[in-house]
A and B are shown apart, each in its own frame.
Chain A
Amino acid sequence: MKGKNLGEFEEIVLLVIGILYPQAYGVAIRAEIEERAKRKVGLGALHATLVRLEEKGYVSSQFGEATQKRGGKRKRYFQVTASGQSALVNTRELRNTLWGSIPKNAFNLVEGLNFDLI
């Protein structure tokens, strides 16, 4: 069913939320992605994805305490829900199966290189 599958960026966001647990909020997530994936991420793209993930039920969130920083605005912390976790696992399994089905001589892979599936 459409909407159950994870998009590539959604997957990255979910994983990064996991990495940052329990301190995953907007700016931190972005910084982490930018550093690890070496790509520019706009707040717009990130928040739009977070909204979508929350609608799908893959993440849940709650507000933190208000502080002097951030113009007095509260942070919103995200965490991956159980269904989010199973979606990640599904995606990973699918990939592993696909990688496993590629005949040896199809790709010119250099022996010994380790291709992490994220």
Chain B
Amino acid sequence: MNVPNDISPPKWALYFLRWFCKPELLEYIEGDLIETFENNLEAFSLRKAQRKYTWEVLGLLKPGIIRNFHLTSIHPFSTAMLFNYLKVGLRQIRRHALFSGLNIIGLAVSMSVCLLVIMVLVDQFGYDKFHKNKDRIYRVISARGPEDRPIENLTRFNATSPLPIADELSNNYTGIESIVRMHRVYGTDLKIPDKILPSHGLYVDHNFLSVFDFGEIQGDLSESLREPFTLILSQSLSRRLYGDEDPMGKIIQLGSEGEDYIVTGVIEDPPIRSHIRFEFLASFSSLESLKLQNLQDRSYIWGYYVYMLLDRTPGVERKVSTALAEISAQFSELDPYYKYKFEPQALGDITPRDGRVTGNEIGPSLPFFLFYFLSALGFIIILSAGFNYTNLSLARSLKRAKEIGIRKVVGGKRRQLVTQFIIESVLVALIALLVGIILLEFLIPRFYHLDPHISKIIYLKRSPEIYLLFFGFSVLVGILAGLIPALHISNYRTIQVLKNLSQVKVFAYLGLRKGLIVFQFMLCLLLVTSTIFLQKQYKLLLHADHGFNVGDVLNVALKGNSYEIFSQTVQQLKEVKAISGSQLRLATGTANSLDVYLPDSPDSLSLHSNFVSPNFLENLELALVAGSGFPARPNTVGERYIVLNETAVEKLMLGSPEEAVGQAIEVKVSSDSTSFLTIGGVVEDFYDMDITNPIYPYAFRQGKANLQHANIRLHPGTTKTALSKLEKLWKEIDPYQPFTYAFHEDELADRYSPLQMGSKVVGLVSALAIVIALLGLMGMVTYMVEGHIKEVGIRKILGANERQLVWRLSKGFLLLLGIATLLSIPTSVFINRMWLETFALKVPISIEVFLWGIGGVIVLSLLMIISQTIGAAKGNPVEALKSE
């Protein structure tokens, strides 16, 4: 043969063909296929030729070519038998109400969780599918790192990239049909003569609307966003601003001191499943005519999005990748301080986020691993419930032995029996599905309740497709759960089960059954201990000393109102202990960067910075280690002082904190000017991002105009009255905008909410897993007690007391629980250590956790076992023995 192995057509397709094709046609059809494949190899790539081959094979699935399958082998039952199976199945479910109930509840509970996971996955993987060009849309993501580190270390990308890339790509490279530049305006005010509305939107190039498909637009598609200072409103925003009036041609002022924009169009609200969301679109050319400096800045990777529509030439992705690698090298070359790395990211990889992008996402999105995590949790508990079914059915299989025997005698084939039992398990699974769907309705609001952000990101939509998916899922669960019992039961030897039941191997699969119980409990213990660790870690981080005190501090957004005026009125309230102002709130995830020049050196250091009022340090209880902070009477002649933290003093090499105070440092106050500021004080280090991040060098500056928040410290216990008074005051100062506030403590807790959510979710799942495991245990114990009722009676007559009997009946299960405990401890230590490692500050892996977690589960299981065995031990032996 002249075809080497590695360029042969796909094997499975060949086998599939051989399986379904009429033998007399096979030889020359196969020959035709090979000939075609070889011809295709000359014209196309190997993969395309293989794909074509597969298509041809599938195309051969036609009457006349498919061989005759024996009807019995594909159709093991007639309709009459099917009805018989269903009837017997329903009778079994009714007759053994306890066991059926245990199975159905267990399956329903776990299914409801799986259904939720399915809905979440369907939602998240359905993003951005409505764009016609979805397969050709990519965007540039960027990473930046210090010049002296290898470029391979750059793995954390931003969704934004420097704007000059766009020109570079369109001028010097091919393969790109069009480039859309975007800039996000997050939270700005739209002013029209009689209204101010906070809103968020995007500056976009005019081709935005032709590259993406964001629905109907009223106005000119290609011209609407071409001119500077033009604006398109979303339908809902237009309605909020103008009601039913036509907004075309109206003037809107963007931002409190911003420019006037003219409305040139109205567009449908963007679909929920779009990673790009906006309420308005403004023309990108407006930014250009404002001559913003960072438009030309090759090092400004924080503000702009560059999306590309690639053309249709083959291999264009690789070409663009190489182009971006070249641009990265070029940018790195030109920059003395930083290295850059730019990569293309396909539209399909944006939601859910692939591992690369960690910052500046254009809209809310969730990382990929979260879906692995959720799927894993769902899988664990459906597995656990499936085990229950398998276990209970196996344990009770002997009861069905006579039925099997009869069916076999009258001619039932093994395949038919397997089908029968699988139909039964599917029936149970489908009933469980109905219950599960009801439970799901209770679960969904709780899921949304976990975190207020969820409802913005995940939209759980009930549709016929979803229910079809649910149905398929539960049939699959039914088949898998019923497979082992079906194979086992159908394997009984006819003569044996009919003649002498006691010879049947009762203990078949006993090892498997025990293994399943051990595995179930191991999972429970693992989940419970992990929940405790998550919870403890969350508490630890939340209550850790951040270096400042935010108890009873209320942050009010000033929204452009003067801090002076607001603070003077607020100070009068008797509930208010103190008030200070700041640009940013500490440890809420935002930071400004400020370049400070090292003394006697051309190098500069980038600090985090924040504008504050003079009494801010005192109000937030930031401890001064040297100096006195800012002078209480703010100077009117401009900025003179600066306060640093210890890390900043150290990084700037200013000596000890005491030595640093009084020195003047050169600070880049705007993009083109520097000024010398005197160090007025040094504060103790504090965590300005959150406690999982290292401490950054930090600088407090003074600037009245920049204060965006008022930090109001209340007297303890006065929250309610203070809030209502504050709101009234706010109304007097600003009748237009709503009063927006948040407790600093809550905002801080928000930073750690992933951990808290994690512990809530894992906690819920472990509770469900425990319930399921206990249900299974209950079934097993009940069944075991039933089987030993005579033995118990005899032992009792011979003088055994209740305690001895309970012990005798329970000890087998206790052993299994013991093994589960022993196995779970090292697993739990391993898994929990793994994620705890990522935190600098972490809870210790303590015995206490295991004592509580494992102890709790074991006590519950013991109660379950004893409650089931004690009845038998207490019962009257005469009752147990008198009837056969």
> Could you list which residues of chain A lie within 8 angstroms of chain B, going by C-beta atoms?
25-27, 30, 42-45, 47-48, 51-52, 55, 63, 68-76
Complex Cα distance, B35 from A51, in Å, reads 20
Q: Which residues does chain B contribute within 8 Å of A73, judged by CB atoms? A: 27-28, 30-31, 34
What would be 27 A-B contacts, judged by CB atoms less than 8 Å apart?
A: A25-B32, A26-B28, A27-B39, A42-B59, A43-B29, A43-B36, A43-B60, A44-B58, A44-B59, A44-B65, A45-B62, A47-B25, A47-B29, A47-B32, A48-B64, A48-B65, A51-B25, A51-B64, A52-B64, A55-B64, A68-B1, A69-B38, A71-B1, A71-B3, A71-B34, A72-B1, A73-B34
Q: A43-B33, A71-B34, A75-B28 are in contact. List 20 more A-B contacts (CB 8 A).
A: A26-B28, A26-B32, A27-B32, A27-B39, A42-B55, A42-B56, A43-B32, A43-B59, A44-B58, A44-B60, A44-B61, A47-B32, A47-B64, A48-B62, A69-B35, A71-B3, A73-B30, A73-B31, A74-B27, A76-B27
Nearest chain A CB to B570 CB, angstrom units: 77
Q: Which of A30, A55, A68, A72 has the most CB of B within 10 A?
A: A72
Closest CB pairs A-B (n = 5): A73-B31, A44-B59, A26-B32, A42-B59, A76-B28
Nearest chain A CB to B38 CB, angstrom units: 8
Q: Which residues does chain B contribute within 8 Å of A43, judged by CB atoms? A: 29, 32-33, 36, 56, 59-60
Query: Which residues, 246 to 298 on B, are CB-close (under 8 Å) to A?
Result: none
Confirm or deny: B463 has a beta carbon within 8 angstroms of a beta carbon on chain A: no
Across the interface, name the chain A residue whose C-beta is closest to B39: A27
Q: Which residues does chain A contribute within 8 Å of B58, judged by CB atoms? A: 44
Interchain CB contact (< 8 A) of B36 among A27, A68, A72, A75: A27
Q: Which residues does chain A contribute within 8 Å of B65, judged by CB atoms? A: 44, 47-48, 51
Contact check, A27 vs B29: say whether CB atoms are below 8 A apart.
Answer: no
Across the interface, name the chain A residue whose C-beta is closest to B9: A71
Render B365-408 as a binary contact track against A, CB cut-off 8 A, 1 for contact: 00000000000000000000000000000000000000000000
Across the interface, name the chain B residue whose C-beta is closest to A76: B28
Complex Cα distance, B220 from A92, in Å, reads 56
Nearest chain B CB to A32 CB, angstrom units: 14
Across the interface, name the chain A residue whose C-beta is closest to B22: A51
Interchain CB contact (< 8 A) of B30 among A44, A48, A52, A71: A71
Q: Given A27-B32, A73-B27, A73-B31, are A44 and B62 also a contact pair (CB < 8 Å)? A: yes
Q: Which residues does chain B contribute within 8 Å of A42, judged by CB atoms? A: 55-56, 59-60
Q: Which residues does chain B contribute within 8 Å of A45, judged by CB atoms? A: 59, 62
Number of interface residues of B (CB under 8 A): 26
Nearest chain B CB to A35 CB, angstrom units: 13
Nearest chain B CB to A46 CB, angstrom units: 9
Q: Which residues does chain B contribute within 8 Å of A76, judged by CB atoms? A: 27-28
Interchain CB contact (< 8 A) of A27 among B2, B25, B35, B64: B35
Confirm or deny: B63 has a beta carbon within 8 angstroms of a beta carbon on chain A: yes
Q: Which residues does chain A contribute within 8 Å of B38, judged by CB atoms? A: 69
Nearest chain B CB to A76 CB, angstrom units: 4
Q: Which residues does chain B contribute within 8 Å of A30, judged by CB atoms? A: 36
Q: Which residues does chain A contribute within 8 Å of B62, judged by CB atoms? A: 44-45, 47-48
Across the interface, name the chain B residue whose C-beta is closest to A67: B31
Nearest chain A CB to B579 CB, angstrom units: 77
Nearest chain B CB to A4 CB, angstrom units: 17
Binding site secondary structure of chain B = helix
Complex Cα distance, B62 from A98, in Å, reads 33
The A/B interface has a contact count, at CB < 8 Å, of 77
Complex Cα distance, B3 from A93, in Å, reads 48
> Could you list which residues of chain B lie within 8 angstroms of chain A, going by C-beta atoms?
1-3, 25, 27-36, 38-39, 55-56, 58-65
Q: Which residues does chain A contribute within 8 Å of B55, judged by CB atoms? A: 42
Q: Which residues does chain B contribute within 8 Å of A51, judged by CB atoms? A: 25, 64-65
Nearest chain B CB to A42 CB, angstrom units: 4
Binding site secondary structure of chain A = helix
Complex Cα distance, B63 from A88, in Å, reads 24
Across the interface, name the chain A residue whose C-beta is closest to B63: A48
Q: Which residues does chain A contribute within 8 Å of B64, judged by CB atoms? A: 47-48, 51-52, 55
Complex Cα distance, B31 from A31, in Å, reads 15
Complex Cα distance, B31 from A76, in Å, reads 9
Across the interface, name the chain B residue whose C-beta is closest to A55: B64
Complex Cα distance, B59 from A70, in Å, reads 20
Nearest chain A CB to B657 CB, angstrom units: 80
Nearest chain B CB to A83 CB, angstrom units: 19
Across the interface, name the chain A residue whose C-beta is closest to B60: A44
Complex Cα distance, B24 from A55, in Å, reads 14
Complex Cα distance, B29 from A63, in Å, reads 12
Nearest chain A CB to B58 CB, angstrom units: 8
Contact check, A68 vs B2: say whether CB atoms are below 8 A apart.
Answer: yes
Complex Cα distance, B28 from A25, in Å, reads 9
Contact check, B34 vs A70: say whether CB atoms are below 8 A apart.
Answer: yes
Complex Cα distance, B30 from A75, in Å, reads 10
Q: Which residues does chain B contribute within 8 Å of A63, judged by CB atoms? A: 27-28
Q: Which residues does chain A contribute within 8 Å of B34, judged by CB atoms? A: 70-71, 73
Q: Which residues does chain A contribute within 8 Å of B3, judged by CB atoms? A: 71
Complex Cα distance, B27 from A63, in Å, reads 10
Across the interface, name the chain A residue whose C-beta is closest to B53: A43
Nearest chain A CB to B41 CB, angstrom units: 13
Q: Which residues does chain A contribute within 8 Å of B1, judged by CB atoms? A: 68, 71-72
Complex Cα distance, B56 from A27, in Å, reads 12
Contact check, B31 vs A75: say whether CB atoms are below 8 A apart.
Answer: yes
Complex Cα distance, B331 from A90, in Å, reads 77
Contact check, A26 vs B29: say whether CB atoms are below 8 A apart.
Answer: yes
Across the interface, name the chain A residue whose C-beta is closest to B64: A51
Q: Which residues does chain A contribute within 8 Å of B35, judged by CB atoms? A: 27, 69-70
Contact check, B56 vs A44: say whether CB atoms are below 8 A apart.
Answer: yes
Complex Cα distance, B30 from A68, in Å, reads 14
Complex Cα distance, B574 from A59, in Å, reads 105
Complex Cα distance, B13 from A43, in Å, reads 14
Across the interface, name the chain B residue whose C-beta is closest to A63: B28
Q: Which residues does chain B contribute within 8 Å of A44, judged by CB atoms? A: 56, 58-62, 65
Nearest chain A CB to B56 CB, angstrom units: 5
Nearest chain B CB to A65 CB, angstrom units: 12
Interchain CB contact (< 8 A) of A74 among B28, B39, B60, B63: B28
Complex Cα distance, B30 from A74, in Å, reads 9
Nearest chain A CB to B26 CB, angstrom units: 9
Nearest chain A CB to B346 CB, angstrom units: 30
Complex Cα distance, B62 from A70, in Å, reads 23
Complex Cα distance, B65 from A42, in Å, reads 13
Interchain CB contact (< 8 A) of A71 among B31, B39, B56: B31
Across the interface, name the chain B residue whose C-beta is closest to A54: B64
Complex Cα distance, B26 from A63, in Å, reads 12
Complex Cα distance, B56 from A69, in Å, reads 19
Nearest chain B CB to A60 CB, angstrom units: 14
Complex Cα distance, B61 from A44, in Å, reads 7
Complex Cα distance, B59 from A10, in Å, reads 17
Nearest chain A CB to B261 CB, angstrom units: 52
Q: Which residues does chain B contribute within 8 Å of A74, judged by CB atoms? A: 27-28, 31
Nearest chain B CB to A75 CB, angstrom units: 6
Complex Cα distance, B34 from A68, in Å, reads 12
Complex Cα distance, B65 from A47, in Å, reads 7
Nearest chain A CB to B27 CB, angstrom units: 5
Complex Cα distance, B56 from A55, in Å, reads 23
Nearest chain A CB to B442 CB, angstrom units: 50
Q: Which residues does chain B contribute within 8 Å of A27, judged by CB atoms? A: 32, 35-36, 39
Complex Cα distance, B33 from A25, in Å, reads 12
Across the interface, name the chain B residue whose C-beta is closest to A77: B28
Complex Cα distance, B60 from A51, in Å, reads 12
Across the interface, name the chain B residue whose C-beta is closest to A29: B32
Q: Which residues does chain B contribute within 8 Å of A52, judged by CB atoms? A: 64
Q: Which of A26, A44, A68 has the most CB of B within 10 A?
A: A44
Q: Which residues does chain B contribute within 8 Å of A72, judged by CB atoms? A: 1
Complex Cα distance, B27 from A72, in Å, reads 9
Q: Which residues does chain B contribute within 8 Å of A47, judged by CB atoms? A: 25, 29, 32, 60, 62, 64-65
Q: Which residues does chain A contribute within 8 Å of B28, judged by CB atoms? A: 25-26, 63, 73-76
Across the interface, name the chain A residue whose C-beta is closest to B34: A71
Q: Which residues does chain B contribute within 8 Å of A68, judged by CB atoms? A: 1-2
